[in-house]
Amino acid sequence: MNRIKVETVVGLFVLVGLVSFAFLAVKLGGIGDASGSHYTLTARFLSASGLRNGAEVEMAGVVVGKVTDIHFNHEDFEAEVELSLPNSIRLQDDAIASIASSGLLGGKLIKISAGGSEDYLEPGDIITETESSVSLEELLSKYIFEGQSTNDK
């Protein structure tokens, strides 16, 4: 009788663990987000260096969406970044999308600054006002080499 009780308790723990794992997989993986509560916009950047799929999209310091795809546009020679935003957030057609760092050692994210236009972007539209990120390596090398050239004079 005692053995059946132990097996039942172990079985319940395993069942609770599997249900918890499935719940987290659905929540974190975005599987349960197919309800149509989001729409997609595309932003074109000269460089999307360091940006990854799944990166956060922020407005006013609040995470409002995520990057769903990054690919190269062969016609315009630009990086196209697809953004998923909730239907509750509408962007003006003059909104600005910028690639920024989330900290000194953090990854890249998209920051959106709202515009002042009365016209809004529709699902599938392109954000035309964009700013690529500035590479820390480029800044340092520019500073070092410019500093050397002024010291040599």
Q: What is the CATH number of the domain that holds 61?
A: 2.40.30.110
Same domain, 45 and 14: no
How high is the pLDDT of residue 150?
52
Residues 43 and 22 in one domain: no
User: DSSP assignment of 56-103, as one string?
Assistant: EEEETTEEEEEEEEEEEETTTTEEEEEEEEETT---BTT-EEEEEESS
How much is the pTM?
0.66
Tell me, yes or no, whether 15 and 78 share the same domain.
no
In a domain? residue 149: no
Q: Which domain holds residue 58?
A: 35-141
Mean pLDDT across the chain: 84
State the pLDDT at residue 149. Answer: 55
Q: Are residues 54 and 92 in the same domain?
A: yes
**Number of compact structural domains in the chain:** 2
Residues 86 and 21 in one domain: no
84 and 110 inside one domain? yes
